[in-house]
Amino acid sequence: MVNITYDDAGSINWFDANADPPANVVYNPGDIAWVLACTALVWIMIPGLGYFYSGLLRRKNALSMIYLSMMTLAVVSFQWFFWGFSLAFSDTASPFIGNLKYFGLRGVLEEPSIGSSRIPSIVFCVYQLMFAAITPMIAMGGFAERAHLGPLLFFVFAWSTLVYDPIACWTWNSNGWVFELGGLDFAGGTPVHIASGTAALAISVYLGKRRGYGTESLAYKPHNTTYVVLGTIFLWFGWFGFNGGSALAANLRAAQACIVTNLAASVGGLTWMIWDYRIEKKWSAVGFCSGAIAGLVAITPGSGFVGSPAAVLFGFMAGTLCNFATQLKFFLGYDDSLDIFASHAVGGIVGNILTALFAQASVAGFDGFTEIDGGWLDHHYIQLAWHVADSVSGLGYSFAMTTIILWIMHFIPGLRLRVPEDVEIIGIDECEMGEFAYDYVGLETELRPSAYAHTTAYEARDSDMKELRSSSN
């Protein structure tokens, strides 16, 4: 039997006999319910990201991104149970990474969590699992249209262990060096967005350019704008749990985080769309969605620390700087097919810097117990130096470690990632999955006739199409 009781109000009571003096810890069911609901909200963001990526690609690779979203969730769920949670959040961790105290989730149940004494450890664990799962999925976009799917099972497990868990530990674990220093990262500016966006850059550099890079063959428009909008809807919807749930309780600070999240996304979307209008004189739905995501990324680290007026600036700066950052790939010569570095890494850095400038002790205190020195608005100027150090560390560590993982995989039989040219021509969906997001007939417009000779399946389909045309005539 677990060591809990219930009082007359229905609250859960856990008696800590090891405390000095022994104490009774009370968990409010409303706080637990809020965090569990936010867990489900963040879960829906993961397939939402798959749909967002899928819509931006060519149709012959559309299903692979949706598949990768579910595969990533499954792999990280096992990794988090196996040792991920312990490496990130063991209360005996070093300043850089945890140990195996909670290996296999041993002892993770009714005791207060390291994140907040207001919820039990098991609730905090499943909530943080969703952050651990969506982070490598953001980076998965770097593999779009040019990587074998099988080795990515290994990559996700290794990357989560060697990149995400250490950065999450030093940012959110009370023993972590950034946490001890005084860094303010409410919901994942560095562990989630800078880490994943920089990993996508490392992946793009390692894999090299797609076939036809720099020619008209890659000057395609998103094949399904509806998927892009649908993915954005899931992401925006889930982000209320991503940021609001990071208060780890149902209180005024959670409500404030939801307000600034929605406001930054709205301003970011409008800003990006208007910047695009100046060039093409079109009101782009894809541009609005890209800006909304950038605004959400930027407000993530500051959502529990800044007021509503600052959220407008977060959205504007993210919509502007992330939009312009999409041109970096042309100057630096890397093929980031989904602009992940521009949206997530640059957006995360923007959010970290603005949080250092506009964080307020009064906003953090909306929950009634959090105390911080604030940022520049509160005349705490050293906060900016801490956030710059945090951002640079996360960027550098993620890029270096991701590159090391990729090169180690390159020399292991069966784990090489780059597909050959004929697979790239036909598409990842056909060659790696044998399944499609849509009926295969729609692929005729995208595949060159010579590509049909690469597989007997396409020869058979070509013959079937000819017979169908002749019978109709």
Given a cut of 60, whether residue 472 has pLDDT beyond it is no
Look at residue 466 in the predicted model and tell me its pLDDT: 52
Given a cut of 60, whether residue 459 has pLDDT beyond it is no
Domains located in the chain, CATH noted: 29-410 (1.10.3430.10), 439-473 (no CATH)
Tell me the pLDDT tens digit for each residue of 337-382.
899 999 999 999 999 999 999 999 999 999 999 999 999 999 999 9
The pairing of strands 23-27 and 4-6 is unpaired
The Cα 374–Cα 26 span in angstroms is: 29
Is there a contact between 245 and 78 (Cβ–Cβ < 8 Å)? Answer: no
Look at residue 444 in the predicted model and tell me its pLDDT: 56
Confidence of residue 115 (pLDDT cuts 50, 70, 90): very high
- For residue 30, how many C-alpha atoms fall within 13 Å in the half-sphere facing its CB? 5
Given a cut of 80, whether residue 467 has pLDDT beyond it is no
The Cα 352–Cα 290 span in angstroms is: 19
Look at residue 212 in the predicted model and tell me its pLDDT: 84
Q: Which residues contact 187 (CB under 8 A, 6 or more apart)?
A: 131, 242, 243, 246, 257, 300, 301, 303, 304
- Mean residue pLDDT of the chain comes to 91
The Cα 161–Cα 4 span in angstroms is: 33
Given a cut of 80, whether residue 447 has pLDDT beyond it is no
Look at residue 2 in the predicted model and tell me its pLDDT: 80
Confidence of residue 445 (pLDDT cuts 50, 70, 90): low
Look at residue 457 in the predicted model and tell me its pLDDT: 46
Tell me the pLDDT tens digit for each residue of 27-64.
999 999 999 999 999 999 999 999 999 999 999 999 99
Global confidence as pTM: 0.91
Tell me the sheet residues that pair with 223. Answer: none
Give percent above pLDDT 70 in the chain.
92
> 167: which 2 tokens?
């950065």
- The DSSP code sequence of 59-77 is GGGHHHHHHHHHHHHHHHH
Confidence of residue 469 (pLDDT cuts 50, 70, 90): low
Mean pLDDT computed over 13-22: 84
Is there a contact between 352 and 390 (Cβ–Cβ < 8 Å)? Answer: yes
Lowest mean pLDDT among 102-111, 160-169, 443-452: 443-452
Closest CA to 132 of 78, 64, 68: 78
Tell me the pLDDT tens digit for each residue of 271-312.
999 999 998 899 999 999 999 999 999 999 999 999 999 999
Look at residue 441 in the predicted model and tell me its pLDDT: 47
Closest CA to 315 of 206, 380, 236: 236
Lowest mean pLDDT among 207-221, 261-275, 448-462: 448-462
Given a cut of 80, whether residue 194 has pLDDT beyond it is yes
Q: Which residues contact 26 (CB under 8 A, 6 or more apart)?
A: 7, 11, 12, 13
Confidence of residue 446 (pLDDT cuts 50, 70, 90): low
Given a cut of 50, whether residue 460 has pLDDT beyond it is no
Given a cut of 50, whether residue 464 has pLDDT beyond it is no
Given a cut of 80, whether residue 118 has pLDDT beyond it is yes
Confidence of residue 4 (pLDDT cuts 50, 70, 90): confident
Give percent above pLDDT 90 in the chain.
82
Look at residue 8 in the predicted model and tell me its pLDDT: 86
Is there a contact between 399 and 198 (Cβ–Cβ < 8 Å)? Answer: yes
220 or 303: which leads in pLDDT: 303
